[in-house]
Structure 1
Amino acid sequence: MKIIFKGKHIEVTDAMRNYIEKRLNKIERHFDHILEVIVTLSVEKNRQIVEATLQASRALIRAEEETDDMYTSIDKVADKLERQIQKYKKKYFQKPHPGTEKIGLANKEINIREF
């Protein structure tokens, strides 16, 4: 997983980078098809804003959060991404895969002809 850090009106420190990487690695344990994550940190007056765009193999997931503390914003964005990935994973893996219905119908036709 490639992580790209961007800062608007703020310098992204090594401590912030390490904290974000630690939080995103927890997400990667749930879903290993993540290709790239773009994290944008910005400051506007008293608001600390974190935006994250996650590029997976078949999905683009985005989360944004703003609070008074940058680390709280990072935590909330990571939680949002985790919830969205779990939702995507649930939806993706519950879909019937192509070809499975045809096999089932072919077996039923054979059983009907045998009787």
Structure 2
Amino acid sequence: MQLAINFKQMESSDALKSYAQEKLDKLDKMLDAPGEANLVLSIEKIRHIAEVNLVSDKLRINAKEEAETMYSALDGLSDKVQAQIKKNKEKARRHLAGDKQTIKTTPELESLEK
């Protein structure tokens, strides 16, 4: 995964960069195609904010997390993105499975017709 990290109103840290890379590499394994992520880490007063825009093939995910520390913000952000990826994969799987019922084959209508 290609990762671009931007720091706003804070100094860049190699420890934060490696931690963010580690978290997003775990998410990259869940994706079907290689992805690109733009990560913005910022501090506003006492809030630590992490935002990510993830693009992979047909999938676009945007997430934002605020916390007291940057590490906890990255953890929460990772959880949010992971949930969105799972939701999208499940939705695609259900859509492609073809388990849809037509109106004619529903049991309620069959009992009404008799």
Q: TM-score band (shorter)?
A: 0.7 to 0.9
Name 2:67's counterpart in structure 1.
67
Contact persistence 2:28–2:35 (CA under 8 A):
no
- Unaligned 5+ residue runs, structure 2? 98-114
Q: Between Structure 1 and Structure 2, how many residues are aligned?
A: 98
Name 1:35's counterpart in structure 2.
35
**Percent of paired sites with the same residue:** 33
Distance 1:96 1:50 in 2: 34
Change (3 A) 1:8 1:29: same
**What is the SS of the residue equivalent to 2:12?**
coil
Name 1:86's counterpart in structure 2.
86
Distance 1:34 1:88 in 2: 16
Contact persistence 1:12–1:41 (CA under 8 A):
no
Distance 2:5 2:31 in 1: 21
Matched residue type, 1:77: L
Report the Cα offset of residue 10 of structure 1. Answer: 1.0
Report the Cα offset of residue 94 of structure 1. Answer: 2.2
Q: In angstroms, what is the RMSD of aligned CA positions?
A: 1.6
Distance 1:19 1:96 in 2: 36
The TM-score normalised by the length of structure 1 is 0.79
